[in-house]
Amino acid sequence: MKDGTKATHAGRRPMDYDGVVNPPVMHASTILYPTYKDLQQSRVARAGDGVTYGVHGTETTFALETAIQALEGGYRTRLQPSGLVACTLPLLAYASSGDHVLITDSAYGPTRAFCNGMLTRMGIDVEYYDPLIGGGIKDLMRSNTSVVWVESPGSWTFEVQDIPTIAEKAHKAGATVIMDNTWASPLYYKPFEHGVDVSAQAVTKYISGHSDLVMGSVTCTEASYDKFQQAQTQTGICPSPDDVYLAMRGIRTIHVRLPHHMQAGLQVAEWLSNREEVAEVIHPALPGDPGHEIWKRDFLGASSLFAFILKPEYSNPVAQAAMLDEMKLFGMGFSWGGFESLLIPIDPPKLRTATKWPNNGRAEGGVMRIHIGLEDVADLLDDLDEGFARMRKIG
Ligand SMILES: *Cc1c(COP(=O)(O)O)cnc(C)c1O
């Protein structure tokens, strides 16, 4: 079946619930067992396999897990209470004290903070690597390297990584490859077809799509699942049923929303590349982008989160504030993936230790991150055009 059909049908069993189209929202802690034998059997079951206790999942959580797994691939998906937990819990699951982990220098900032804080405190040796390293990762592999972390395109700077090559070298050295797959969503990148073992998603973004909840998911191959499942059970991490239900509403339309996000995003990206205030647009789906060839080879589409670099004369905070403070449609705030457009200034050098920014032949200058929502593109361009006019007055 194709993705649109999976997004609308996976995880639903209406005839089990009087024909009701959507799964019920189960608020549950205690689960009652009819007999002594049933109770004993539940104790030998693997947590998460069947409804045994509220923490371990209900028909509500299993329904969304089934839908995400159907789209993303892999063996099994488990829901997390935020996208950040979807990044941190796999690191806890696959890295142990004394291990070495390799993290792309383009990783999501809070993932870095967890590595620098908690993982380091646990005696795990954290090393950042150049996101464009490709097969060169093999020179960084050590006998105790347990995890290679990839995120593609990278947060803020959107480098496209050669994940199949990185995964092959990582596997040769016995490491687990974990990917933050949030940018592309389960629709536009199929991590398990490119050698990834564990995929983290911020469900908060395109899967939920409406800026009204935080949630994450972790999807594993069969070989990697047991280790992750144990970490999930031992930490007692679980999402709220009402948020799961809302996220489920989101996933039913993700295949209709994302093509719009992609097309609108590309239209705005092309418009921005012709602006005199803009030195360069950073969007892997634009021909000529340094990541374009790998993007075309490995991805099935592009989301609408990208960035642009301002010319030096507009890179000062006063000029940027003149634009940002009076935008009519673009909001200024964190997160993305909802129906509404966002624009924020970002500071890539702040998040780098292994590599320099700008890299990859990119221009110097202030960087803005933009998310294109579901508004009419013409109105968004008007808003940006007026914003640039305010910027020009100051710059
Ligand atoms: C937003 C985001 C996360 C974290 O998701 P939250 O639900 O906000 O915790 C993780 N990775 C990436 C790439 C993100 O953009």
Domain layout of the chain by residue ranges? 3-251, 254-394
CA distance 58 to 51: 5
Q: What is the pLDDT of residue 43?
A: 86
The pLDDT score that the predictor gives to residue 328 is 98
**249-267 burial by CB neighbour count: b if 16+ within 10 A, else e?**
ebbbebbebbeebbebbbb
> 88 CA distance to ligand 1 centroid (A)?
11
Which of 106, 204, 351 gets mutated to test ligand 1 (max ligand atoms within 8 A of its CB)? 204
DSSP secondary structure letter of residue 46: P
Q: What is the tens place of the pLDDT at every residue in 64-106?
A: 999 999 999 999 999 999 999 999 999 999 999 999 999 999 9
Distance CA 150, CA 193 (A): 15
Atom of ligand 1 nearest to the CA of 183: 13
How far does the centroid of ligand 1 lie from the alpha carbon of residue 92, in Å?
Answer: 17
CA-proximal residue: ligand 1, atom 6 (nearest): 83
76, 232 Cβ separation under 8 angstroms: no
Assign domain 3-251 to a CATH class: alpha beta
Residue 365 confidence (pLDDT): 96
CA of 216, closest atom in ligand 1? 7
| Predicted local distance difference test score (pLDDT) of residue 374 | 98
Q: Which residues line ligand 1 (CB under 6 A)?
A: 82-84, 87, 108, 155, 180, 182, 202, 204-205, 214, 216, 335
Average pLDDT score over the chain: 97
Q: For the chain, which residues score pLDDT lower than 70?
A: none
pLDDT tens profile 131-145:
999 999 999 999 999
pTM of the full structure: 0.98
Give 3's Cβ-side CA count (13 Å radius). 20
Q: In the CATH scheme, what is the homologous superfamily, with its name and number, of domain 254-394?
A: Aspartate Aminotransferase, domain 1 (3.90.1150.10)
CA distance 27 to 21: 19
Q: What is the pLDDT of residue 395?
A: 76
| Residue 360: predicted pLDDT | 86
